[in-house]
Chain A
Amino acid sequence: MHATLLAGTVPLFLGALLSDIAYYRTYEVQWTNFASWLIAGALVFCGLAIVFALVNLLRAAQKKGRPLLYLVLLAITWVIGFINALEHAKDAWAAMPLGLGLSLVATLLACVTTGIGLAKRRAGGAA
């Protein structure tokens, strides 16, 4: 469950990024609508993943190192994503180009965080 939520964050932010690129190139506003909903979806997945990560950390014997790093990165990803959601709430081209930049940062962060999170999972083994 935790892994699904975590892994789901990546394609949602990536979808937002691709939609933003499409809007940037075509001025077709439907793309920025898509991006807004994809970001909202990413925030739900990412937010629930944070809850799992927090519970895992509290239950873990060792409360430092990789599990902590993972949680912090996940939280930063969510905050960037949330700022991006507000940026995308601006009308029409007002969301550009900052919205596109934030989508790029959020996507990269989600990738890195997921890599770290899943690596931990391979090492820890718990489902």
Chain B
Amino acid sequence: MTSSTRSKGSRAAAGSAQQDNSSLPPSDVPTRANGGSGKRRKRTYGGTLAPYGFLTPTFILLLVLMVTPIILVIGYSFVDRVIINPNSELVGFANYAQVLGDQTFWKALKNTVLFSSVSVAAHFVLGLVFALMLNSPLIANRTKSIYRAVYILPWLFTVAIVAVLWRMLLSPNGIVNYFIDELGLSNDKIEWLSDPSIALPALMFINIWAGYPFFMVTLLAGLQGISSELYEAARIDRASPLKQLLHITLPQLKPIIVAMALLDFIWTSQQFALIWMTTGGGPIDATEVLTTYTYKLAFSTYDFAVASASAVLVFVLSMVLAYLYVRHQKARD
């Protein structure tokens, strides 16, 4: 026992000794900092090469399975009848022109933007309301954790499960229509997922159900990080709960909200499985989004070149969003 404590003590001493020496050039500063003797240079080379060694597996994986496919798909998008025809030739922007001239593409873009904006807005509102309720000091912690688990439930189901579950619930003979009938709202057998005028809103509803917990949990963590002194000061000033929400809570949460909204928008706009497994983009093109549009071009009509052009357009749009996200995260640091 005593020996172990002693060894711990000596290790701590070594640590502090190292700290004292830190004014001397340690081995892992960049070469430029100390290009002195050959011996020292060798040491620093070891130091500067080491991080690249640690990053090698990541490099290889991302190079082969991320950079290469992106280059390939960009290449595909400029040739004619790629993959199917071995003698495909360069056609310039013809594939892009075909995609951009396709009415369905614009419909898919419109649906994607609408689907994502409504989903993100609803995720935020629901997430915030639930997070505020779950964060109230009036409720015992044990009760809170039970409610929290229930509220997180939808997030624990994979998209495939969410899709079949809601296909059952929203079936014309399903439980949702039963409740609507019982409440006297309508006694039609509403075709939620096959009526072109309501299929997209129905999909949005499913996506809102499945996605709000992520927002909620993040906001909950954010709420717990707000200093209670701010609220105490507000209470002394007799600020109403609404004023506290508008002038303390929301401004304090703003960086998290913006980051989450951007991330959620990126993810929602890339949603494929939910739409593919519920409506398949139909009826006709009522719920077509960019991902289902691109997938169909590739794997239903086997028009890989045009599909690649569409895939590159989706990529560019996502990168614009990613740029906004990275810039926002950097501004926070």
Partners in one complex: no
